[in-house]
Amino acid sequence: MFKIDSTANRISPLQAKRFSDLGFSERKHLQEWLENTPQALTQGDGDELLIIQKEFDGFDDTRERLDLLAVDKDGNLVVIENKLDDSGRDVVWQALKYASYCANLKKQQVVEIFQRYLNQKAQLQGAPPADAESVLLEFLQADDLQSVQLNTLKSQRMILVAAHYRKEVTNTVLWLSQFGVNCQCFKVTPYQSGGELFLNVEQIIPTPEASDFMIGMMAKEAEEKSASNEQRNSHRLRLAFWEQALDAFSQSGCSLYNNISPGKDHWLSAGSGLSAMGFNLIFSKNEVRVEFYMSRSQAGANQFVFDRLEAQKASIEADFGDSLTWQSLPGRKACRILYAKPIDGYDKSNWPEMIQWLVVHMTRLEKSLRRPLEKIREELKHADLKPGPEA
């Protein structure tokens, strides 16, 4: 790794260091860094982690404890093992044990583990704890816990983190991958330049290219299995609701959803003219919602658009006709602006009212954002965006 001197138009090498030489420890430093910045262990769009526990020792008949436990966007549990300067010989065996222990955790147990973690953090901060179920559903973009696929069979993942890997470790990980065991190795290297310290985090197994291929194959297999299973009642319910909703939109002055088909998800999205930023209709068990959702892979672009819109908050809300909820979602890549109505969404007798509400308020939302977004679209083309948390 080199440091760029733009004034002299030269590069100079940074000095690679050992964690121990810098006085850093596994538990107090590396574990703390990854707990608070889990995006260091993610690769590409949509690949986010939510830390739900650290130093977890809630296994029956054993006093062993894993370093960090996380959930990914697909609801899989992720065991994270840190080994600082040297991976050691037994790190794969440790991670496999922890993954096997976690495989038995039921959905409610995962929520309870996460709640204990949030309680501990809140106690240290002197603040009331967040609700684990709500945070989890928000992260998974799910409607209710019952419909979430969480910690299903054979879905557990392992992430190993170390500055140096022994050959017996890398060979074993590569061998396990042939049997569908999802294990990643990240190499972490501290660098020093004068009084400044830097940390390079690099996925070495599998390589990003191989990882994309493996993910694609697993997604294809999951799709084929899913197609052979009977749709759940909630899927049929959503499909029926969206059919009625889209019919109402087709007869309204809002043309956003003219080319959108009904689906089984609790949301429908229409484009805004800005890539990966759309107008969403939300149909959930407890509410209906309209929102403008900014979800580019570059978090800086989402924040740029959100900030420009928020600067016009007064005029946008005046055009909309009511106060909107503005969520920059700190620590996440996405941002959104929304308006919601609490209602029993699964009571079909409420559907006519809900659909009419969606038509009226999405029409207002799209109209109130139309002019600001046209101007922002041009500004975004020439914006010098700072790297987001995924960089």
Task: Take residue 259 and report the two structure tokens written for it.
Answer: 């080319």
Q: What are the structural domains of the chain?
A: 2-105+151-227 (3.40.1350.10), 233-381 (3.30.1460)
What average pLDDT does range 287-291 have in this prediction?
A: 97
Q: What is the pLDDT of residue 217?
A: 54
User: Looking at the predicted structure, is the pLDDT value of residue 228 above 50?
Assistant: no
User: Looking at the predicted structure, is the pLDDT value of residue 208 above 70?
Assistant: no
What average pLDDT does range 209-213 have in this prediction?
A: 55
Range name among 51-65, 302-316, 321-335 with the lowest pLDDT average: 51-65
What average pLDDT does range 188-198 have in this prediction?
A: 92
Across the chain, mean pLDDT equals 90
Query: Rounded distance, CA 212 to CA 217, Å?
Result: 9
Q: What is the pLDDT of residue 219?
A: 59
What average pLDDT does range 335-344 have in this prediction?
A: 97
Query: Rounded distance, CA 193 to CA 195, Å?
Result: 6
CA 133 to chain centre: 15
Query: Rounded distance, CA 192 to CA 194, Å?
Result: 6
pTM of the model: 0.61
Range name among 73-77, 223-227, 296-300 with the lowest pLDDT average: 223-227
What average pLDDT does range 30-51 have in this prediction?
A: 87
User: 117-175, pLDDT tens digit by residue?
Assistant: 999 999 999 999 999 999 999 999 998 898 889 999 999 999 999 999 999 999 999 99
With beta carbons less than 8 A apart as the criterion, state whether 57 and 137 touch: no
What average pLDDT does range 295-322 have in this prediction?
A: 95
Q: Is 207 in a helix, a strand, or coil?
A: coil
